[in-house]
Amino acid sequence: MLLEVNKVSRHFGGLVALQDVSLTAAAGQITGLIGPNGSGKTTLVHIISGFLRPSAGQILFEGQAIEQLKPHQIARLGLCRTFQITLNPQRMTVMENMLLGARQQLGERLLMAALHPQAVRREEQRNLDRAWHLLEMVKLQHHANELAGGLSGGQKKLLALVQVLMADPRLILLDEPVAGVNPRLIDDIVEVIKTLRKGGQSFLIIEHNMAVIRELCDTLCVLDMGHVLAEGPVEDVLGREDVLRAYIAAGGQLDPDTAVAGGGQSTEA
C-alpha cells in the first residue's frame, strides 16, 4: 500500500479533532477524502504532510513511518502537497516557478555539480523540456515568461498542479483543487488530473464538489466528527444511508460552500 494511516488521533486541548482514523491510498489510484465541515479533513492532511504531529497513531508511506518527519523530509520521499513548493508566485515567472519545483533534487547535488557539470546541464535541459511539456498540457505555455501573479485563480491552480509534478511525486495531496474555480476551468483541472492518473500518478484528494469526486475518485473515505464513517469504492460509499445522514445532519448538503453535484457557487472569474 502506498499510504497507510493507522489509528491516528489528534487532540487540540480537550477537543478531539481525529479519533482512531485509519485509511489507505493505493498506488495508481485517486483516493477521495470527504466529510462535513469540521470533520477533521484538514487536520488529517496536515498530519500526513508533516505540518502537525498526531497525538497517537502511525502513518506509513511505502512502508516507512513518516509521522515524526518534517514536511520537507516527507516531500523528499515523494509525498507532495501542491502549495509546498510555491515560494513567490507574484515575483517569479511561470517557468521559474516550474523549475523551482524540480530544484529540490538538484540543490542536493552540489558535489555532483562540481564533478560532473555536463550531467547537471543535461538534467537542467531535461527539467526545461519537462516543464514545457507540462505547461503545454495545461495550456499555460504562452504564459511561460509572464509573472505567475498575473494568472487567474484557476490558472494558478493548474500551475500549482503541474509544478508539483516537476518533483516526480509518488503521491500528490490535493486540498480542494477546484474550490473557488469557475466551472469552465473546473473541467480543465478534472481533465488534467484524469490524464495524469492514466499515466499512473496517484492522488489523495480532499474535495467538496461531489460531481468532481464521482468523476475522479476510485475510492472514497468519509470523515465525520473525527471518525471514519465509511471507506470503499466511490459509488458504494455514496450510496450508504449513514453517509447521507451525516451530511443531512451537517446542513442538508455536503458542505456549506458547495452544492451537491454541481451548481456550486464560484467565486473566481
Binding site for ligand ADP (CB under 6 A): 12, 15, 17, 35, 37-43
Name the residue nearer to Mg ion (CB basis): 42 or 253.
42
Name the residue nearer to Mg ion (CB basis): 15 or 114.
15
Closest CA to 177 of 198, 146, 194, 154: 154
- DSSP characters for 228-239? EEEEEEHHHHHT
Name the residue nearer to ligand ADP (CB basis): 10 or 143.
10
* Cβ neighbours of residue 37 closer than 8 Å, sequence gap 6 or more: 250, 255, 256
Q: Binding marks (x or -) toward Mg ion, 26..45, rule CB under 5 A?
A: ---------------xx---
**Binds 155: which of ligand ADP, Mg ion, none (CB < 5-8 Å by kind):** none
253 sits near Mg ion (criterion: CB under 5 A): no
The minimum distance between CB 223 and ligand ADP, in angstroms, equals: 6
**Binds 39: which of ligand ADP, Mg ion, none (CB < 5-8 Å by kind):** ligand ADP
Per residue, what are the HEC states of 29-90? CEEEEECCCCCCHHHHHHHHCCCCCCCEEEEEECCEECCCCCHHHHHHHCEEEHHHCCCCCC
Bridge partner residues of 9 (DSSP):
56
**Binds 143: which of Mg ion, ligand ADP, none (CB < 5-8 Å by kind):** none
Name the residue nearer to ligand ADP (CB basis): 234 or 250.
250
Name the residue nearer to ligand ADP (CB basis): 15 or 114.
15
- DSSP characters for 94-110? HHHHHHHHHHHHHHTTH
Strands 30-34 and 56-61: unpaired
The minimum distance between CB 12 and ligand ADP, in angstroms, equals: 3
Name the residue nearer to Mg ion (CB basis): 131 or 173.
173
Residue type, 28: G
Binding to Mg ion, residues 77-116 (CB under 5 A) = none
The minimum distance between CB 41 and Mg ion, in angstroms, equals: 5
| CB-neighbour burial class of residue 249 (10 A; exposed 0-12, middle 13-18, buried 19+) | exposed
**Binds 169: which of Mg ion, ligand ADP, none (CB < 5-8 Å by kind):** none
Cβ(30)–Cβ(205) below 8 Å: yes
Residues that bind Mg ion (CB under 5 A): 41-42
